[in-house]
Amino acid sequence: MAGMELRRVGGMSADTLFRRITGTGLLILFVVLAGLIVAFVGYSNPLWTIQSPIEFLTSSTWSTGTIDESGQTVDALYGALGALFGTAATSLIAVLFAAPIGILAAIFLVEFAPPRIAAPLTFIVELIAAIPSVVFGLWAAGDLSNRLRDTIEWWIASSFGRFLPFLSEDPESPAADSVFRAGFLLAIMILPMVVAVSREFIRSVPISLREGYIGMGATKWEVIRDVILPTARIGLIGGVLLALGRAIGETIAVTMVIGNAEGVPSSLFQPGQTVASKIASNIGEASGEIAIGAMAALGLSLFLLTTVISLVVRVLVRRFAVTGGRV
């Protein structure tokens, strides 16, 4: 047969050659990941000659120091607590809003909506994910941010804010930017991801489980509460974590509405910064090994955070796949 002949290219069969070429593609991805790790660890290294990683994580002072008579930089201290706080606060606010609404919307799409409505709705929600984050940022800075300030933020500040200092705001002169508004914008941006992942896992619950329960006289909602949500639980958690990872890394939209203020803000309705927004707004000014090292350390902490989340999600989803949803 003509196809059986082994064509040899450079002493190697065509099959082996093809295998090596495609394998190189995968190898390049491995090399890029290794490169990222080596670069961020390497470039952040000089920072640890003047301070410890503990100081980096626990101090909220970010100072490039002063230059003394001998030309040496003194009193430099790079504490990322303010940025880390902002990242935690914005992404948790985002999840707080996006997780319940996203999961409920996914339940509607899978369980309640007739196909005629479900298909276009799903499509529209997916389109949100296609909008570039800089457009979200522009919209938030020009419109959404002010609306939030005058509605939800005002309401929380004038009710809970009276006795909870971290939710307080001067109603006469609210801040121009706030951590809360950045978090709410992130909620909108990660919502499609929560809906899409939740939808997949809710759909994967075996139909026989639903039928059995409905056959016993359960209402639709009882099926959802007692069968679907418990069965899909791990997948739903995975989806929310994935969205959390996205929120942690989001940069430009947050930079445009959070105000980029140093330190830990006294209230969620005050301007702040996130790790990503700090990198975006400060990296241009960073010069010298140590200042660049501080930037690399910020990048490294983002990279580690998102990597841990990706790995946790992977383990969760694999557990879901192994048990076939029946936990």
Partner 1 sequence: MSTPVASIAKLLTQPTSGERARQRINWGMRVIVGVAAFLAILPLIALILFVILKAAPYLVPTFFFNNPLDKEPGVLNAIVGSLQLSGLTVLISGPIGIAGGVYLSEFASPRVVAIGETVIDVMLGVPSIVAGVFAYLILVPVLGFSGWAAVAALSILTLPIMMRSTQEVLRLVPQAIREASLALGVPVWKTALFVSVRTALPGILTGVILAFSRALGETAPLLMTARGTNAENWLDFSTTMNAMPIVIYQYSNAASDLLIGQAWATALILMVIALTINVLVRGRTVNSRTA
List the interface residues with partner 1, window 30-89 (CB under 8 A).
30, 32-33, 35-36, 39-40, 43
* Residue 206 found at the interface with partner 1 (CB under 8 A): no
What are the beta bridge partners of residue 74? 66
With binding defined as CB under 8 A, does residue 322 bind partner 1? no
Q: Is 306 in the site for partner 1 (CB under 8 A)?
A: yes
User: Which of the ranges 61-69, 172-180, 200-208, 304-312 carries the binding residues for partner 1, by CB under 8 A?
Assistant: 304-312
Q: Which of 72, 216, 285, 287 lies at the binding interface for partner 1 (CB under 8 A)? A: 216
Q: Look up residue 153 and give its two tokens.
A: 């933020």
Among 164, 176, 311, 321, binds partner 1 (CB under 8 A): 311
Q: Determine which residue in the list 230, 288, 321, 324 makes contact with partner 1, applying CB under 8 A.
A: 230
Distance CA 85, CA 63 (A): 17
Asked if 107 is part of the footprint of partner 1 (rule: CB under 8 A), the reply reads: yes
Instruction: Tell me: does residue 260 bind partner 1 (CB under 8 A).
Output: no
Rule CB under 8 A: choose which of 12, 134, 176, 321 binds partner 1.
134
By C-beta, is 98 or 267 nearer to partner 1? 98
Which residue among 252, 261, 262, 263 contacts partner 1 (CB under 8 A)?
A: 252
With contacts defined by CB under 8 A, name the span among 51-59, 72-80, 162-170, 300-308 that binds partner 1: 300-308
Binding of partner 1 at residue 131 (CB under 8 A)? yes
Choose among 86, 66, 44: nearest CA to 263. 86
Q: How far apart are the first and last CA of the chain?
A: 52
Length reported for the chain: 327
Nearer to partner 1, 123 or 163 (CB): 123
Query: Of the ranges 9-17, 53-61, 76-84, 173-181, which one interacts with partner 1 (CB under 8 A)?
Result: 9-17
Q: Minimum distance from CB of 269 to partner 1 (Å)? A: 21
Asked if 176 interacts with partner 1 (CB under 8 A), we say no
Q: Of the two residues 82 and 245, which places its CB atom closer to partner 1 in the complex? A: 245
Q: Which two tokens stand for residue 247?
A: 């929120």
Residues binding partner 1: what is the number (CB under 8 A)?
A: 104
From 55, 126, 200, 262, residue interacting with partner 1 (rule: CB under 8 A): 126
Does 258 engage in binding with partner 1 (CB under 8 A)? no
In this chain, which stretch among 45-53, 68-76, 98-106, 148-156 interacts with partner 1, using CB under 8 A?
Answer: 98-106
The set of residues, in sequence order, having a beta carbon less than 8 Å from that of 141 and lying 6+ positions away, is 256, 257
CA R_g for the chain: 25
* Residue from the set 12, 67, 74, 124 that interacts with partner 1 by CB under 8 A: 124
- Cα–Cα distances (Å) from 149 to 90, 187, 256, in that order, read 15, 16, 15
